[in-house]
Structure 1
């Protein structure tokens, strides 16, 4: 934008310079041409007055001597022609008397017309300046006197003046460019600050604000309005997150009490009520998962994660080992493939939460007695990739586009336990780590959840403790619902839903 504004400034300035310089250059060439024309015309008229008695008497010796001295002094050729166009005398032999332009002037002179100022000598034109004066008295024309001047000196003089004018214009344009650069920077500084702050806010730095004391008054008002809007939006987001967090936290206690009381009713149930009791227990478990997911999502969105160098293969292998007993109880093989052999930038707890959510997702929606493959590799663009692939029915392209939305569930899995928040949390955590999540089609069928993370430029992994450990609820150390015999190390943060 600065370049476009600077271009507009310079374009207007160049237009002004052209509007001033071109008429001035034209008037300079016209003025110098007129000065030379007047001097030469006076000399031509003098030769015509000398030629009149010489033509009548036939004595042309003195006239020829005068023309020769004039030519030697001013290097301007001169000649006298009679009424029959015959050259009576000339200062030199090589005068261009046969040129069409000269013949036209001679015809005009023999008709009694004097040469007028009807031309301007331009630096790129090389034609001589030819002037003709009728010779005669009392309206009788008996010949013409003409002068032919080379315009090289005149053209050089005009060109020098134009060069000086161009130099002044270039210097003025350079000074104006420096002033325009400063003006453009001063004008657009608030716009640059606005763009930078808007980017910071979109990246999660909600307290970023635009300085309100820079630039023109209109942009200062815009900055003030933007800051007011940012305060309003930030306040609304903060209140929304606080509400979700507080509501989720406060509802967990009565929900836990309700679950405990439902469990205490087991000994007092009649056989006909056992089915309804199991359904009520399942619904309370599902509601607890939704509350935990909302709390995790609210805290993940509001937390700036401290990234550290994490051994990707080690974390993946740890989660595979922790989940193998659980997958074995479902007759599902959990396979480890590839190897990145790299340190990635991530919050360690976030990476564990993400892997647990994706493995649980693959376990629920993969094929019975199927396979889940956890693979790591380095991509062509220098990032580390994690692939969690199942061999289930998968999702079509439209469903994959909506799968990371909150509470979204695939129509084919509406009856499968889950909250619809798992993939949304995964997306938020991976984005906070500077990576990206993509849901791809697995061949021949299934879902391939691909995570890409940045490679750490440091050596050994850093501190494995992360603020995320305090930011997220401790839902990662419990087995999946309905799996009381699951291993204590098989965490499932939130039941992801499709």
Structure 2
């Protein structure tokens, strides 16, 4: 964003400088040409005034010497023509008045028209400056005085002025660019702080706030509004967590009491009430597991404040060893593959509990004779932990719903569980700054991929 803002600012500054410099350059070039024209007009008018008595008396030697001296001193050709336009006096023997635009100016002067400034002589025009003045009195034109000035000096002066103007414009643009960098940083600092705070919230760090007091007033107001919103949301989230934790703790005591009472009632239950007794006992156990899962879920959302370095490969080895016996009893072959060391960033115990939840589901739902493989793969800046089973898998629609709290497939309603296993695993991995994806395995089965940031 800072780069785009700098480009926009410098583009506008360059447009303003161009809008000011181009007309100024045109004006400077026109002024230089006009000053040169006025100077040559004065010289030509002087020669015309001297040529009038010379042409009438025929005494032209003095005027010819002056024209040649003028040409030698300034390098400007000068000539005087008669009434018929033919050369009478010239400062150079090879001077040709028949070429354009000299001929047109001489003919205009012979008709009594005085010389006028026709516009700037730009550096890309190489013709000389021609000034022609009629010679005579009272409308009686008896000849023309002409000067032909080379434009090299004028072009050099104009180019130097333009180069100076361009240099000044580039200097202003450079100063503007240097000044724009700290200015844009100051303007965008609240935006970067907001982005950092938003990122912290996505990682579960609800205590982070945006520093106030920097940037433009509008962004300071946005910062204050964000902090107010963050404070209220953090309060609501904390209340929710506290409620879930408190409710689960409070329910565990009466459930334990009910379980103890049921155990005491067991010997007294008659044959016709055995089925009801067993159903109630199973429901009490199920409710106890549900409370434990709710407590785990509430803790999972609060673990992002402390992220540490863990060896994902070592954690995978440990959890596979723990679950190997349960997998064998269920007729599932559990194996471990991939790297033997993979440092990653995760909340304490988060990866352990997430793998427990994923392995529990894999062993439970893959079916007898299936295989479950846990693979650890470092991948650049990430570490991937794959839990792949060869069971029946799930349709794509069900995979998208699997992380929802208490969601269970219709075919799994009678299988033991709380419906929070994948939800807890997803919350733990998200709290660690990672991601849990449920994908179809090839040719069939379920592929659970845990992606954590690699430890530097």
Q: Is the structural similarity TM-score above 0.5?
A: yes
1:220 corresponds to 2:202:
no
Cα 1:339/1:214, change in 2 over 3 Å: closer
Alpha-carbon distance change, 420 to 186 in structure 1, aligned in 2, over 3 angstroms: same
- Is the CA contact (8 Å cut-off) linking 2:131 and 2:147 kept in structure 1? yes
**TM-aligned CA distance change 1:87 to 1:163, over 3 Å:** same
Report what 1:333 is aligned to: 332
Q: How does 1:60-71 map to 2 (within 5 A)?
A: 60-71=60-71
CA distance in 2 between partners of 1:167 and 1:385 (Å): 57
What's the RMSD between the two structures over aligned residues? 2.5
Find the counterpart in structure 2 of residue 282 from structure 1. 282
Quick check: 1:164 aligned with 2:164?
yes
Between the aligned partners of 1:201 and 1:131, the Cα distance in structure 2 is: 81
Evaluate the alpha carbon distance shift between residue 76 and residue 271 of structure 1 in structure 2; reply closer, same or farther with a 3 A threshold.
same
Contact 1:52/1:135 (<8 A) preserved: yes
Deviates more, 1:409-418 or 1:129-138: 409-418
Structure 1 residues 143 and 415: alpha-carbon distance in aligned structure 2, compared to 1, 3 A threshold = farther
CA distance in 1, matches of 2:54, 2:90: 13
For residue 349 of structure 2, give the secondary structure of its aligned residue in structure 1: helix
Deviations 1:166-195 (A, max 9, x none): 333333333333333333232222222222
Tell me the CA shift for residue 233 of structure 1. 0.9
What is the Cα deviation at residue 114 of structure 1? 1.2
Does residue 198 of structure 2 align to residue 198 of structure 1?
Answer: yes
Paired with 1:12 and 1:328, the residues of 2 have a C-alpha distance of 72
Supply the distance in 2 between the matched residues of 1:234 and 1:348 (Cα, whole angstroms).
22
User: 1:438 and 1:74 mapped to 2: Cα distance?
Assistant: 89
Give how far 1:218 is off.
2.5
Residue 493 of structure 1 corresponds to: none
Q: 1:484: which partner in 2?
A: none
CA distance 1:32–1:311, shift in 2 (3 Å): closer
In 1, Cα distance between equivalents of 2:215 and 2:19: 31
**Where does residue 37 of structure 1 map in the other structure?**
37
* Cα distance change on mapping 1:215 and 1:383 into 2, 3 Å: closer
2:413 matches 1:429: no
Matches within 5 A, 1:243-262: 243-262=243-262
1:243-299 deviations in whole A, cap 9, x for unaligned?
A: 111111111111222233333333333333333333323322332222211111111
Equivalent-residue separation in structure 2 for 1:97 and 1:308 (angstroms): 94
Quickly say closer, same or farther: Cα 1:258–1:101, change in 2 above 3 A.
Answer: farther
Q: How many residues align?
A: 454
Q: Please, which runs of 5 or more residues in structure 2 have no aligned partner?
A: none
8 Å CA contact 2:386, 2:448 repeated in 1: yes
Structure 1, gaps ≥5 residues long: 458-498
Q: What do the CA deviations read for 1:107-146 (whole angstroms, capped 9, x no partner)?
A: 3222221111121123343221111112233223333221
What is the distance in 1 between the residues matched to 2:423 and 2:413?
A: 17
What is the aligned partner in structure 1 of residue 308 from structure 2? 307
Query: Partners of 2:268 and 2:254 in 1: how far apart?
Result: 22
The aligned counterpart of 1:104 is 104
In structure 1, C-alpha distance between the alignment counterparts of 2:103 and 2:285, rounded to whole Å = 114
Deviation of residue 234 (structure 1)?
A: 0.8
Could you say what secondary structure the match of 2:375 adopts? strand
Local SS of the residue matching 1:431: helix
Query: Which residue does the alignment assign to 1:344?
Result: 343
Question: Does 1:13 pair with 2:13?
Answer: yes
Retained in 2: the 8 A contact 1:373–1:389? yes
Following superposition, the deviation at residue 359 of structure 1 comes to 1.7
Q: Equivalent residue for 1:270? A: 270
Tell me if the contact between 2:372 and 2:390 (Cα under 8 Å) persists in the aligned partners: no
TM-score (norm 2): 0.90
Deviation at 1:77, TM superposition (A): 0.8
Under a length normalisation based on structure 1, what TM-score does the superposition of the two structures give?
0.83
1:453 and 1:194 map into 2 onto residues whose CA distance is 24
Q: Is the 8 A contact 2:78 2:90 kept in 1?
A: yes
Please list, as runs of the form range in 1=range in 2, the aligned pairs for 1:337-486 lying within 5 A after superposition. 337-345=336-344, 346=346, 349-367=349-367, 369-381=368-380, 383-456=382-455
Distance (Å, rounded) in 1 between the aligned partners of 2:357 and 2:141: 115
State the SS of the aligned residue for 1:335. strand
- 8 A contact 2:342–2:376 mirrored in 1: no
**Alpha-carbon contact 2:377-2:383 (below 8 Å) kept:** yes
